[in-house]
């Protein structure tokens, strides 16, 4: 069988490793930046896997909504997105994460640059 290998002990070796999506469990700025970075790494690993195996990316990748911690999703939907949980999409969550993580950085840079200079 092509692609099937065994080691010295004749134990079958997996053809690919299990790649789990990162879990979004907090709405804190640092957690969002870390999650966004990990999500990009996860998506890149899945794309690499798809080029190797011939699978379709959309069929293999986990949903963003599914990677949000169950206790965090209702709070995110109601208080941040102002929607019911059932109507929230992956694109909504990604855009909210990007807006929040990039907005805090922009505000911090603006606050530093707008401070008065030392006399």
- Per domain, the residue ranges of the chain are 29-105
Rounded to whole angstroms, the Cα distance separating 33 from 51 reads: 27
Predicted TM-score (pTM) of this structure: 0.72
Q: How many CA atoms lie within 13 A of 40 on its CB side?
A: 7
- Characterize 8-33 residue by residue with b for buried, 16 or more Cβ atoms within 10 angstroms of its Cβ, and e for exposed: eeeeeeeeeeeeebbebeebeeeebb
List, for residues 58-106, the tens digit of each pLDDT value.
999 999 999 999 999 999 999 999 999 999 999 999 999 999 988 755 5
User: What percent of the chain is modeled with pLDDT above 70?
Assistant: 73
Contacts of 81 (CB under 8 A, 6+ apart): 88, 92, 93, 96
Average pLDDT on 6-11 reads 65
Q: Is 22 helix (H, G, I), strand (E, B) or coil?
A: coil
Q: What's the whole-number average pLDDT of the chain?
A: 84
Q: Is the dihedral of CA 59, 65, 69, 71 positive or negative?
A: negative
List, for residues 21-32, the tens digit of each pLDDT value.
999 999 999 999
pLDDT at 38: 97
User: What percent of the chain is modeled with pLDDT above 90?
Assistant: 65
Pull the structure tokens for residue 12.
């079958």
């Amino acid at each position: 069988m092509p692609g099937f290998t065994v080691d010295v002990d004749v134990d079958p070796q997996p053809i690919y490793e299990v790649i789990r999506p990162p879990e979004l469990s907090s709405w804190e700025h640092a957690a969002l930046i870390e999650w966004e970075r990990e999500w990009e790494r996860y998506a890149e690993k899945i794309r690499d896997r798809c080029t190797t195996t011939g699978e379709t990316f959309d069929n293999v990748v986990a949903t963003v909504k599914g990677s949000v911690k169950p206790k965090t999703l209702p709070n995110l939907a109601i208080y941040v997105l102002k929607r019911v949980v059932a109507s929230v999409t992956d694109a909504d969550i990604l855009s909210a994460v990007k807006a929040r993580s990039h907005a805090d950085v922009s505000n911090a840079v603006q606050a530093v640059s707008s401070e008065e200079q030392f006399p």
